[in-house]
Amino acid sequence: MALAETNKKGRHRSALFSRAVATALKTMASIAVTMVGLLLVTFVIGRVMPIDPVLAIVGESASKSTYDAAREAMGLDKPVITQFFIYLRDVMHGDFGMSLLNSRPVAEDIRRVFPATLELASLGTIFGIVLGVPLGVLAAVKRGTWIDQVARVVALVGYSMPIFWMGLMGLLIFYGILGWVGGPGRVGIFYVDIVPPVTGMILIDAALDGNWTVFKDAFSHIILPASLLGYYSLAYISRMTRSFMLEQMSAEYIITARVKGLPERTVIWRHAFRNIRVQLVTVIALSYANLLEGSVLTEIIFSWPGIGSYITTALLSADMNAVMGGTVVIGLIFVLLNIFSDLLYKVFDPRAR
């Protein structure tokens, strides 16, 4: 009997393991197909664009022999399909090619600009979650009251006010007039290149280096753009939280909980809120991914050398290696965030396990 039980448990474990392996394989296959598809689309767009990447490099004064030499060096004289497979092979080795415009490896450029965006987006998202979720819950619980109206206006302003305007106003008031925060750039010019780059995120690198002066300066520079991005994130998260909460608050189990005499706080946070966590994860992941994609306007106004402005500059200059490299990285982030959300679903929702 005991043996049969052990065998049953063993079979169960083995089945679980097989299922996990199958899921992992399926996920990896899905990532691979997505990434190859993304590479193909980006590559094709790069080749059919009505701009001449060779001209972007050599300029309009170049002689024909200079032009031809550059074209050959860029491999553009080869058949397109060959170019694609060469590109695919290189990407597999982590090589996105050289930036046509600044003569550096694209992978090195991305390692430099992506941490700047990651730092900004993460801080912005934290801001959005910490304020947006409670605001959304409060607005739902106090539906129709002045608190709900305030939350609505806050979100509306966040949705509708151009970030360009908000950025300039923020800079003018908090940097120009009040002098409370640092100006454009990641750190003051005197603090450039002082802490050794470890993660590329200045706040973390300064903390690791124990250089609190640089940390303080970097914080004074990031706080304004991060708050702005966080505000837009807050607007989205709070509206979605409110809507999810309203749906839960009118459900029968909430009425039952209240009839049972549970304290309101328990009803809200332990019953209703627990049930919106899965939906919230999706909303937050999407919001985070959008910020990681790089908020180009914010980066331009605040002279923030992030991936958004990197890709935009590359695109306008026909630097297709840089555009494709940046697009692949952003595509990968979306895929990874999706996987991370799936994992969180399983943590929050037993039915998804």
The binding site for other proteins (CB under 8 A) comprises 50-52, 55-66, 69, 99, 101-104, 109, 112, 164-165, 168-169, 171-173, 175-179, 183-185, 188-190, 192-193, 297, 300-303, 305, 309-310, 313, 316-318
CB 302, min distance to other proteins, A: 8
Q: At what angle do helices 163-170 and 212-249 cross, to 10 degrees?
A: 140
- Give me the least distance between CB of 56 and other proteins, in Å please: 6
Measured from the CB of residue 307, what is the shortest distance to other proteins in angstroms? 11
Least distance in angstroms from the C-beta of 155 to other proteins: 23
Give min distance, CB of 191 to other proteins, in A.
11
Output 174-181 pairs: Cβ under 8 A, ≥24 positions apart. Answer: 174/224, 175/224, 180/220, 181/220, 181/221, 181/223, 181/224
d(CA 187, CA 295): 19
**d(C-alpha 76, C-alpha 94), whole Å:** 21
Q: Where are the alpha helices (DSSP H) in 49-162?
A: 53-58, 64-73, 80-92, 106-141, 146-160
Q: Give 65 or 146: the residue with its C-beta nearer to other proteins.
A: 65
**HSE on the CB side for 256, CA within 13 Å?**
6
For other proteins, which is the closer residue by CB, 118 or 278? 118
* Contact by Cβ (8 Å): 263, 145: no
Nearer to other proteins, 131 or 307 (CB): 307
Nearer to other proteins, 34 or 312 (CB): 312
State which residue, 144 or 179, has the beta carbon closest to other proteins.
179
- Please tell me what DSSP assigns to residue 182: -
